[in-house]
A and B are shown apart, each in its own frame.
Chain A
Amino acid sequence: MTLKQLQQHLLEQTLGNTLALEFIEQLRPCGELAPKQQILIYQQNAFAARQTVLLSTYAVCVQILGERYFKHICKAYIYATPSTHIDLNLYGETFPDYLAEQLLRQEALKDFPYLPDLALLEWHFHRLFFVANVPEFDFAAFAHIETGNQHHLQFHLAESCFFMPSDFPVLSLWRSHKAANPTSTMPAGDEYYCIYRQQGDMLIDDISSDLFTLLQGITQGWTLGTMCQHNLDSLLPQLIEKGWVSRFSIAHV
């Protein structure tokens, strides 16, 4: 077995929950530790590290499901999802999608249809903490845009913001749990949120459907002309003021 094969075996077994005979044969007893137990120690360490991160990132989901059930739910996810980022803090990006799949499969989750949206909100609130700072909007350059180009202006969203819709009031739920005053009432309704970082603070705003449409349009490459056609251009200053729009460019006609 080459060194690379040996290391591949160990890494696969460390991140999973299986034992490969081929690898066990490469080991000798280590004090009182038989070869199988040697591998199990690494498996348990790697599992615990990823579980700890999920418990911290999805803290409100943990509160809602209870730590024991949350751990049960995330067990298969951890084994199926190796870490692909050097920073362990960024493990668990796909957990909201996993929860959405589990909703369809697990009867015990049928009372928690909002869980994937809540998890998505928690993930981005966590992720944006680590995102690079946004340069300030260049008002001076903006003031010098030629009149003929104004309709072709395109705006770009800051990396430090993320917006999402939800059929459930998950922001109220998240806030009530963060305030240690959990609510159980969950009226359905259209909700739109923008999660962002502003001057050192992590914030979440409840936004209007018009603002959400505009944010969506910006990500689709709407020009200022298109915004005017949708009568949404008047909302643009808000986005710039909040730091959600960080720069502009002129679309090629």
Chain B
Amino acid sequence: MIDSSAAQHHPISGCGIGLRAPHVHEIITTHPDIPWLEILADNYLAEGGLILEHIQEIAQRYPIAMHCVGLSIGSAEQPDLDYCKKLKQLAENINACWISDHLCFSSLGGHYSHDLLPFPLNRQTLALCVQRIDQIQQLLGQPILLENISSYMHYAASSMSEIEFICALTDLTDCQLLVDANNLYVNHVNKGLDIDEFITHLPHHRVKEIHLAGFQPMVNFLLDAHNQPVADPVWELYARLLNYCPDTPTLIEWDNDIPTLDVLLAEAKKADSISQHPISDDIETVATASA
């Protein structure tokens, strides 16, 4: 197990945005006021190239967190050591605040889904994830942040709730958490996830980052599409989360139908405003209100 207290602490705060290709030039040339940025690290693992030059330039001015989809924590296969080495190298090059990934698997047998695939939550997969996370944290030399995913699948083999699994996993590995408020809401609507139970049982001291994004309503479910503004019930959920995890660095994620930078910055400003004026938790909960 890695000692999280030994990890380097980076003073980031406020609401940042996910750095996406259409905004790179504008950020490099106009230096907008953004407290921090998050990159999808998988897109920056080349040994060189323009994309790496751009991120190194941006890293000189902004704190950067690394978000990944390739650690494949829940995969039945061993972690990709080469991938971990590249992540570590990139983190050193840009002095990354931290590295995060998802509670999912994304690849197997050399094929990549480029999506966050769920696995059954039970004692067997818990033991596997503990082993993987220990190994990955040792390789990276730092604790990772794990994010809750939106899942559209229910396995017969699941015997633990998501929050039970997360609590056990963080206890056993000392990893940290990235809570995605949109994913919580999407899972609440699609799968009946108990938001009250999730938020109250969450190991709050381990929550180092919150994600906010937009979902797309489909015929009979919500799709975690990251292509819209953050929806009102997710803002409400965010405000509620902040009661338990105040001042947690927050990020606006927008990956599809990407708007102009000013739209993203307005969303970030809204998050900052909510963070500075927290609501009381004795109001009716989002879960109850949306039921």
* CA gap between A4 and B120 in the complex, in Å: 12
* CA gap between A38 and B70 in the complex, in Å: 22
Cβ contact of A41, chosen from B42, B112, B152, cutoff 8 A:
B152
For chain A, the bracket of interface size reads: 35 or more
Q: Determine whether the beta carbon of A49 is less than 8 Å from that of B114.
A: yes
Asked if B96 CB lies within 8 Å of chain A CBs, one says: no
Asked if A124 CB lies within 8 Å of chain B CBs, one says: no
Asked if A182 CB lies within 8 Å of chain B CBs, one says: no
Cβ contact of B114, chosen from A7, A38, A50, cutoff 8 A:
A50
Cβ contact of A4, chosen from B76, B80, B155, cutoff 8 A:
B76
**Shortest distance between the CB of A212 and any CB in chain B (Å):** 25
Q: Determine whether the beta carbon of A27 is less than 8 Å from that of B43.
A: no
Q: Determine whether the beta carbon of A85 is less than 8 Å from that of B112.
A: yes
**Shortest distance between the CB of B239 and any CB in chain A (Å):** 25
Chain A stretch 1-32: residues in CB contact (< 8 A) with chain B: 2-4, 6-8, 10-11, 14-15, 25-32
Q: Determine whether the beta carbon of B107 is less than 8 Å from that of A130.
A: no
Asked if B217 CB lies within 8 Å of chain A CBs, one says: no
Asked if A129 CB lies within 8 Å of chain B CBs, one says: yes
Asked if B228 CB lies within 8 Å of chain A CBs, one says: no
List residues of chain A with CB within 8 A of the CB of B75: 7
Q: Determine whether the beta carbon of A38 is less than 8 Å from that of B154.
A: yes
**Shortest distance between the CB of B146 and any CB in chain A (Å):** 18
Q: Determine whether the beta carbon of A31 is less than 8 Å from that of B191.
A: yes
**Shortest distance between the CB of B66 and any CB in chain A (Å):** 14
Cβ contact of B43, chosen from A7, A14, A15, A87, cutoff 8 A:
A87
List residues of chain B with CB within 8 A of the CB of A46: 113-115
1/0 per position for B120-141, CB-CB distance to A under 8 A? 1000110010000000000000
Chain A CB within 10 Å, residue with most, of B47, B109, B115, B156: B115
Asked if B166 CB lies within 8 Å of chain A CBs, one says: no
Q: Determine whether the beta carbon of A8 is less than 8 Å from that of B108.
A: yes
Cβ contact of A8, chosen from B109, B112, B128, cutoff 8 A:
B109
List residues of chain A with CB within 8 A of the CB of B50: 129-130, 197, 200, 202
Q: Which residues of B contact A (CB under 8 A)?
A: 42-43, 45-51, 53, 70, 75-77, 80, 83, 105, 107-115, 117, 119-120, 124-125, 128, 151-157, 189-192, 220-221, 223, 256
